[in-house]
Amino acid sequence: MVNIKQQVKDFYDQVGWQEVGEGVYQNAHYEDLRPVSRAYIHRCHLRLVRHLKHSGRFLLDAGSGPIQYPAYLEYSRGYQRRVCADISITALVEARRRIGPHGLYVVCDIANLPFRAEAFDGAVALHTIHHLPEGEQLQAYGELFRTLAPEGTAAVVNGWPGSRLMRWAEPVMHLIRRVKGIGRRLAGHRISESEPDTASRPSYIPPETWNKVGGTPKGTFTARHDAAWVKSEVGRAMPVEILVWRSVSVRFLRTLVHPWLGGRLGLRLLYALEERFPHWFGENGQYPLIVIKKSF
């Protein structure tokens, strides 16, 4: 267990939060930053705001990273302080560069939060709980709930282990990638398919040996639970609602969304559909928004 967390921490300290461009981190490899997808991605990031209280004393950002996207700043806009909690010191140093005195920065494990009960008026945890060993994920949800003030909301974003919607899209994606591959080969280009790597890597490889075992890793340990688990296990301990955060994967976006294919309009339509059927897209798309309300 400890090795998994050490591996995750080493990865983010030494790889994930290294800047690879102006204000862009290695971790952005997992996001589609192309102009054609920008508006859609931004609006999906903002979806958390409508569930959070708009003002309060402390907002907890569990696994804050460096607060890497502009929309993330909106979550704590009306709060006195944003408490950035992360296992990676590099993440917190970068977060402080972004929000300075608006933030409080705490190196800690989100499965054992060092905060008193009911300390936060709101909480967010994006793409973080999946880095915990499977057996500790429920404990992390419990910690979010314990530290939430009455009437507060926690908004959690994580990928599902699989998505019905993406399975339906798979044959089309496969076809397009083959056609593109053939096109590139005919044009004499080397094919380099750089896909986000989300596979679990439970064994710990210390950073000093990375070079000996095939170079620096692109990703680190993840373990994902499905919707049935969230409803039964998390739902047993606290009230949860599964809504949509973003229903398509980065792979889908990079393969099928292009300006010459009407990509912007397509994404506007997709967003409108997600808004109309948030529960269906939440459970069947790639990334749910799990909303936990502490109402008494």
Ligand X SMILES: C[S@@+](CC[C@H](N)C(=O)[O-])C[C@H]1O[C@@H](n2cnc3c(N)ncnc32)[C@H](O)[C@@H]1O
Which helix (H) or strand (E) element contains residue 181? helix 164-186
Alpha-carbon distance 253 to 260, whole Å? 13
64 binds ligand X (CB under 6 A): yes
219 binds ligand X (CB under 6 A): no
Alpha-carbon distance 76 to 79, whole Å? 5
Name the segment binding ligand X (CB under 6 A); options: 122-130, 141-149, 169-177, 178-186.
122-130
Q: How far is the CB of 68 from ligand X (least distance, A)?
A: 5
Residues 6+ apart with CB under 8 A from 127: 30, 63, 157, 158, 159
12 binds ligand X (CB under 6 A): yes
The residue among 87 and 154 lying less far from ligand X, judged by its C-beta, is: 87
Q: How far is the CB of 12 from ligand X (least distance, A)?
A: 4
Residues 21-40 that bind ligand X (CB under 6 A): 27
68 binds ligand X (CB under 6 A): yes
103 binds ligand X (CB under 6 A): no
The residue among 62 and 267 lying less far from ligand X, judged by its C-beta, is: 62
Alpha-carbon distance 133 to 200, whole Å? 10
The one among 86, 121, 274, 283 contacting ligand X by CB under 6 A = 86
109 binds ligand X (CB under 6 A): yes
7 binds ligand X (CB under 6 A): no
98 binds ligand X (CB under 6 A): no
How many residues in the shown chain lie near ligand X by CB under 6 A? 20
Q: How many CB atoms lie within 10 A of CB 176?
A: 14
75 binds ligand X (CB under 6 A): no
290 binds ligand X (CB under 6 A): no
Residue 1 burial (C-beta neighbours within 10 Å; 0-12, 13-18, 19+) = exposed
The residue among 72 and 252 lying less far from ligand X, judged by its C-beta, is: 72
Alpha-carbon distance 26 to 244, whole Å? 26
Q: Pattern 141-160, binding to ligand X, x per CB under 6 A?
A: --------------------
The one among 47, 131, 225, 246 contacting ligand X by CB under 6 A = 131
Q: What is the DSSP annotation of 89-150?
A: HHHHHHHHHHHGGGEEEEE--TTS--S-TT-EEEEEEES-GGGS-GGGHHHHHHHHHHTEEE
63 binds ligand X (CB under 6 A): yes
List C-alpha distances in Å: 83 to 71, 115, 194. 17, 10, 34
How far does CA 251 lie from the centroid of its chain?
15
The one among 29, 53, 81, 127 contacting ligand X by CB under 6 A = 127
Q: What letter would DSSP give residue 200?
A: -
Binding site for ligand X (CB under 6 A): 5, 8, 12, 27, 63-65, 68, 86-88, 91, 109-111, 126-128, 131-132
